[in-house]
Amino acid sequence: MSLIARIRARDATVGVIGLGYVGLPLAVELARAGFKAIGFDVVDEKVRRANAGDSYIKDVPSDILADCVKSGRLQATTDFALLASCDTVNICVPTPLRKTRDPDISYIVSAVEEIKKYIHQDVLVVLESTTYPGTTEEVILPMLARDDFRVGEHFFLAFSPERVDPGNPRFNTKNIPKVVGGITPQCTEVASALYATSLTTVVPVSSAKVAETVKLLENTFRSVNIGLVNEIALMCNKMDIDVWEVIRAASTKPFGFMPFFPGPGLGGHCIPIDPFYLSWKAKLAGFEARFIELAGQINGAMPEYVVGRVVEALNRRKKAVNGSRVLVVGVSYKANIDDIRESPALDVMRLLKRHGAEVVYHDRFANADDPELAHAEVSPIELTREALSRCDCAVIITGHEGVDYQALLAIVPAVVDTRNVYAGVASDKIVRL
């Protein structure tokens, strides 16, 4: 039986390397579609919790995970030797930027090295980790292919960009359209067949390079437009214009305008990083992506601008930032999730401390034991009247639901609002972005 036939019959064993925000939801969807799914990770705690049916990813309910585990359709492991039993392998590992802003694909390379040890004929390998155009063909293919082990014939290789939006109540792994591009047409066909078994819509494209560039375009589009609206916000501040009112009124145009909103900076694993993957690759091709780089500079400077607004808010109260107690409200990179990767709150807190402020934070979603928060050396507080009365200024970085913003405004002497949570509220305490 061919691999496609085994996939369509759910007789294939599917492997997923990396059980984070991308990998765990994918493994669960494949298991729910009827496959035997094996999730691989190097973190013992993730494997333990997954096998206990205890989800650490908000978008994966524990009861659904537990059902997959109890039925025997899903198991997690740190033993990569089990790759030998897999007919398909999806790579869902981190791809950070180095401090020099060049791509760090070491996690991808490590995953492929493990696959290479156990790879067999008639197996599909799909990279989902966001990376620069050409990674699948230029890095992974040479690691796996041999003269007697040819892609599109003995094994299949493709790229399919993850499009996870943590905390999105409408779109999830199952119903977000899945772009797929293979090294050969046969590779695209096999990979498309896998995703068609468990996901609502599959969108084949002509090559892995196209699929890799699709993801970078999507997030560069957001980065550039956010950079534009952040620059508009800076301009409006200089001219004493309410940028939020401008955006609200512009949004009434039924064509030719899409609203983006200013903020304290970019966060998450994708939007602050992906555009630089594209510009880095463009430089290698002799092209300078000036628009992308400029947007990155504007967005990257927003935390410093926010700290300047905190200084202004305190000055209005004849207070110096040095020695003031500043409350950061919301440290995750977007509302109502626990993910603090690349969150602008981390930069804001670091800069405030450099100015001599005593910094505390409140975030009911974030894990206080997160290494990045621990490294920031800031203390969490509850928003009690006593705790708020000890703060000289609050700065709202992430507009989580469930926060009593009115009580905060009533008690804290000055509030910097970077998310427009006080839309329509008139108060001399508020300093807007």
Nearest to 396 by CA among 412, 413, 416: 416
Tokens of 18: 């990396």
Three-class SS state of 185? helix
Show Cβ contacts of residue 301 under 8 Å, excluding neighbours closer than 6 positions: none
SS (H, E, C) 360-372: EEECCCCCCCCHH
Tokens of 418: 């970077």
**Cα(22)–Cα(126) distance, integer angstroms:** 13
CB contact at 8 A, 263 and 230: yes
Burial class (CB in 10 A: 0-12, 13-18, 19+), 249: exposed
Q: Where are the beta strands (DSSP E) in 65-150?
A: 74-77, 88-91, 123-127
Tokens of 197: 């078994």
**Cα(22)–Cα(34) distance, integer angstroms:** 19
| Catalytic-residue membership of 393 | no
Which residue among 68, 187, 236, 270 is the active-site one? 270
CB contact at 8 A, 33 and 198: yes
Show Cβ contacts of residue 45 under 8 Å, excluding neighbours closer than 6 positions: none
Tokens of 41: 């990770």
Nearest to 103 by CA among 285, 280, 266: 280
Q: Tokens 């290494």 map to which residue?
A: 371
- The distance of Cα 255 from the centroid of its chain, to the nearest Å, equals 29
The two beta strands, 74-77 and 88-91, are unpaired
Provide the CB-side half-sphere exposure for 34 (13 A, CA).
13
Handedness of CA 423, 427, 429, 433 (dihedral sign): positive
The two beta strands, 178-182 and 155-159, are antiparallel
Tokens of 79: 């033993």
**Cα(27)–Cα(67) distance, integer angstroms:** 13
Active site residues: 270
